A and B are shown apart, each in its own frame.
Chain A
Amino acid sequence: MSRILSEKVESVEKLSRSIYKMTINSEYIVERAYPGQFVNIKCCDGINALLRRPISICNVDKEKKCIDIVFQVKGIGTEYLSKKTLGDKVDLIGPLGNPFTILKEVKNVAVVGGGIGVFPLLYLLSEIKAAKKSAFLGFRNKDFVVLKDEFEKNSDKLFISTDDGSEGSKGLITVPLEEQLKSSKFDIIYTCGPTPMIKKVVDIAKENEIKCQVSLEQRMGCGIGACLVCACKTKSDDGWKYSHVCKDGPVFWSNEVIFDD
Chain B
Amino acid sequence: MTDLSVDIKGMKFENPVIAASGTFGFGREFKDYTDLDMIGGISVKGLTLESRQGNKPPRIAETPAGILNSVGLQNPGVKGFIRDEIPFLRKHKTKIIVNIAGNTIEDYCEMAEILSDEDIDGIELNVSCPNVKKGCAAFGTTSEGISEITKKVRKYCKKPLIVKLTPNVTDIKEVAKAAEEEGADAISLINTILGMAIDIHKKRPVLANNMGGMSGPAVKPIAVRMVYEVAQSVNVPVIGMGGISNGDDAIEFMLAGASAIMVGTANFVNPAACVDVVNGIKNYMKIHDFKSVYDVIGKVKLY
Residues of B within 8 Å of A47, CB to CB, are 65, 216-218, 245
Which of B28-36, B136-144, B150-158 makes up part of the contact surface?
B28-36
Output the nearest chain B residue to A220 by Cβ-Cβ distance: B60
B270 contacts the other chain (CB 8 A): yes
A102 within 8 A of B: no
Task: Tell me the complex Cα distance, A226–B62, Å.
Answer: 17
- Residues of A214-257 at the interface with B, using a CB-CB cut-off of 8 Å, are 218-222, 224-232, 241-242
What are the residues of chain A within 8 A of B53 when measuring CB–CB? 241-242
CA distance A42 to B271 in the complex (A): 12
Residue contact A50 to B58, C-beta cutoff 8 Å: no
**Does B80 sit at the interface, judged by CB under 8 A?**
no
Query: Given the complex, which residues of A lie within 8 Å of B33, measured CB to CB?
Result: 1-4, 93, 224
Residue of A whose beta carbon sits closest to that of B30? A226
Nearest A residue (CB) for B52: A242
- Indicate whether B268 reaches chain A with its CB closer than 8 angstroms: yes
The one of A3, A51, A231, A232 that contacts B269, using a Cβ cutoff of 8 Å: A51
B62 touches A222 (CB 8 A): no
Docked CA distance A142–B62 (Å): 31
A interface majority secondary structure: loop
B interface bracket (residues with beta carbon within 8 Å of A): 35 or more
Total cross-chain contacts (CB, 8 A): 106
B217→A229 contact, CB < 8 A:
no
Contact B34–A50 (Cβ < 8 Å): no
Residue of A nearest to B24 (CB): A226
Which residues from chain A contact B268 at a C-beta distance below 8 Å? 51-52, 221-222, 226-227
Binds A, one of B6-14, B67-75, B162-170: B67-75
Separation of A231 and B71 alpha carbons in the complex (Å) = 9
CA distance A222 to B264 in the complex (A): 11
Evaluate contact between A219 and B269: CB separation under 8 angstroms: no
Asked if B66 is at the interface of the complex by the 8 Å CB criterion, the answer is yes
Q: B residues within 8 A CB of A229?
A: 57-60, 69, 71
Interface residues of B in 21-47 (CB under 8 A from A): 22-25, 29-30, 32-35, 45
- Is residue B61 within 8 Å, beta carbon to beta carbon, of the partner chain? yes
Question: Which has the most chain A C-beta neighbours within 10 Å: B25, B58, B60?
Answer: B60
A226 to B22, CA, bound (A): 8
Verify A232–B57 contact, CB threshold 8 A.
yes
Bound Cα distance A261, B267 (Å): 28
A119 and B55 CA atoms in complex are apart in Å by 30
Q: Are A225 and B29 in contact (CB under 8 A)?
A: yes
List 20 A-B pairs, Cβ < 8 Å: A3-B33, A48-B65, A49-B62, A50-B65, A50-B66, A50-B217, A219-B59, A220-B60, A221-B60, A222-B267, A222-B271, A225-B29, A226-B29, A227-B23, A227-B25, A227-B69, A231-B56, A231-B57, A242-B53, A261-B208
Beyond the given A226-B267, A226-B268, please list 5 additional residue pairs across the A-B interface where CB-CB is below 8 A. Answer: A52-B268, A221-B67, A225-B25, A226-B25, A231-B74
> Closest 8 CB pairs between A and B?
A226-B25, A229-B60, A229-B59, A226-B29, A222-B268, A47-B65, A231-B57, A219-B58
Q: Using a CB–CB distance below 8 Å, which chain A residues touch chain B?
A: 1-4, 42, 47-52, 77, 93, 218-222, 224-232, 241-242, 261
